Each structure stands twice: as C-alpha cells, then as structure tokens.
Amino acid sequence: MAVVTFVSHDGEKFDAPLKEGQSLMQVAVNEAIPGIDGDCGGEAACGTCHVVVDPQWSETVGLSSPEEEEMLSMNPERQPTSRLSCQMAVSAAWDGLTVDLPEFQM
C-alpha cells in the first residue's frame, strides 16, 4: 500500500495510506492528521490544508494552479514547495511522499 508521511513542525511523523481518487487533504482528514483542517471542503478557498512538499517530490506531485497560487500568496508561512493539499489528486506513484505541516494554518 502506498503511504504518505506528514511531518509536524516539531518533527512528529504521521503515516497515512494513499488512496487514488482522493485529494491529499481528504487523506489527511480521514486519518485525523493534526494540522490539516480542510475547512472549505477542498475549494481552494480557506488555506487550512497547506503543506510543504519535500523538494525531492515537487516535480512528481506537480505545480500549484493559478487558483492555488492566489490562496498561497496570502500565507505568511508559504515556502517554495508549498501546496494546498486539497488541490493534490493522489497518485499511487506518490508512495514514500513526505510533506511538512506548517506550525500554523491560515
């Protein structure tokens, strides 16, 4: 089974099974990963699903959309590989993906 690892700002790791057909935000919420709220339900309108993708994976998971960029641009914790996890459609090829969780969500 493909697995993603979420890493909290203080280094705690949470593994979750990747399920194709879901967004990475849905994976996190289903597994009760702390720090991913997904308040808008995946509409790229709240920013509470912000993750920072391991740079080694950024090409594999793809770039953010213009809509995503608009929301991320308002986030003071934004990093070069930041994504909104609700806009990341899970692929089985992401087995081993690691994403960092910001200390605070918007």
25: contact with ligand FES by CB under 6 A: yes
Q: Which of 27, 30, 29 is nearest to 3 (CA)?
A: 27
Closest separation between CB of residue 86 and ligand FES, Å?
3
45: contact with ligand FES by CB under 6 A: yes
Q: Are the C-beta atoms of 50 and 64 separated by less than 8 Å? A: no
47: contact with ligand FES by CB under 6 A: yes
Q: By CB under 6 A, which span of 11-19, 44-52, 74-82, 91-99 interacts with ligand FES? A: 44-52
Closest separation between CB of residue 50 and ligand FES, Å?
8
Q: By CB under 6 A, which span of 2-10, 14-22, 33-41, 53-61 interacts with ligand FES? A: 33-41
Q: Between the CA of residue 97 and those of 40, 51, 76, 94, what are the distances in Å?
A: 24, 12, 24, 5
Q: Are the C-beta atoms of 97 and 59 separated by less than 8 Å? A: no
